[in-house]
């Protein structure tokens, strides 16, 4: 079963160029994912209330056009076949006329809230049936580390953190775009890839390393270990 929701972009969703913020985009995709998981009977009662946390590990989105302030979009999402402890999920975003704005994918997992380790869903009665629509885009792959030439330090703020007890992954997009030149110049990404390796907690300091050229930007965040990696193509 594919989940679909319509949404009209509000002031809080857009940047100074009146285009959808990348952080808001991924918030919308994740909210649709959560809503669909609840619809499939694997929501809070089966996960959060039992001490299991849904976390996203990798994301990819291919963008034909970023929607603008006041525009109504439709977000569709559906699950792929579970791979041991990993839950693939796919996305498509359309405009009001049905034109495809974006296609994407993500890999999710469940963590034990106490140990912060992945759990085996089949051992805990958690099952999500996969679906094949023919519209699936490729799943995200790990990002290769390359040399960077810039660095900044960021301390995780209270409002960065979510109910999982760590910096929400969508906040990394705001962190990155505050450092990069392309967003400030009003350039929209055509592809975004993200990988979340280690959580960053409240008041931890993240060393953000990045490099940027005419067509792309690579960003890595580290505490004692790598927290996240992102690539933006323009």
- CATH at 208: 3.10.129.10
**136 part of a folded domain:** no
**Structural domain contains residue 143:** no
Whether residue 172 lies inside any domain: the answer is yes
Whether the Cβ atoms of residue 180 and residue 232 lie closer than 8 Å to each other: yes
pLDDT, residue 156, reads 97
> Is residue 145 in some structural domain?
no
Is 1's pLDDT higher than 90?
no
pLDDT at 23 over 90: yes
For residue 182, give the 3-state DSSP assignment. helix
Checking if the pLDDT of 224 tops 90, the result is no
The better pLDDT of the pair 129, 1 is held by: 129
Q: Which residues contact 48 (CB under 8 A, 6 or more apart)?
A: 54, 163
Predicted model pTM: 0.94
Q: What percent of the chain has pLDDT over 90?
A: 95
Q: Which domain holds residue 115?
A: 3-124
Total structural domains in the chain? 2
Average pLDDT of span 158-186 = 96
* Residue range 191-208: mean pLDDT, rounded: 96
Examine the fold and report which residue of 80, 108, 124 is the final residue of a domain before the chain moves on.
Answer: 124
If pLDDT is split at 50, 70 and 90, which confidence band does 82 have? very high
Structure token pair of residue 66 = 């970023």
pLDDT at 144 exceeding the cut of 90: no
């Amino acid at each position: 079963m594919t989940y679909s929701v319509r949404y009209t972009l509000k002031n809080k969703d857009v940047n100074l160029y009146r285009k959808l913020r990348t952080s808001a985009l991924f918030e919308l995709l994740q909210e649709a994912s959560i809503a669909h998981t609840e619809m499939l009977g694997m929501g809070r009662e089966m996960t959060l209330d039992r001490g299991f946390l849904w976390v996203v590990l990798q994301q990819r989105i291919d963008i034909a056009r970023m929607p603008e302030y006041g525009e109504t979009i439709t977000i569709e999402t559906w699950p792929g076949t579970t791979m041991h402890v990993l839950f693939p999920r796919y996305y498509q975003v359309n405009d009001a006329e049905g034109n495809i704005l974006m296609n994407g994918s993500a890999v999710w997992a469940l963590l034990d809230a106490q140990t912060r380790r992945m759990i085996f869903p089949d051992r805990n009665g958690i099952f999500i049936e996969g679906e094949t629509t023919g519209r699936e885009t490729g799943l995200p792959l790990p990002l290769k580390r390359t040399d960077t030439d810039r660095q900044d330090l960021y301390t995780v703020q209270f409002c960065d953190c979510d109910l999982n007890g760590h910096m929400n992954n969508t906040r990394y997009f705001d962190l990155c775009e505050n450092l990069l030149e392309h967003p400030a110049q009003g350039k929209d990404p055509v592809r975004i890839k993200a990988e979340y390796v280690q959580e960053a907690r409240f008041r931890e300091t993240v060393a953000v390393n990045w490099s940027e050229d005419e067509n792309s930007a690579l960003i890595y965040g580290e505490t004692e270990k790598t927290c996240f990696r992102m690539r933006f193509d323009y």
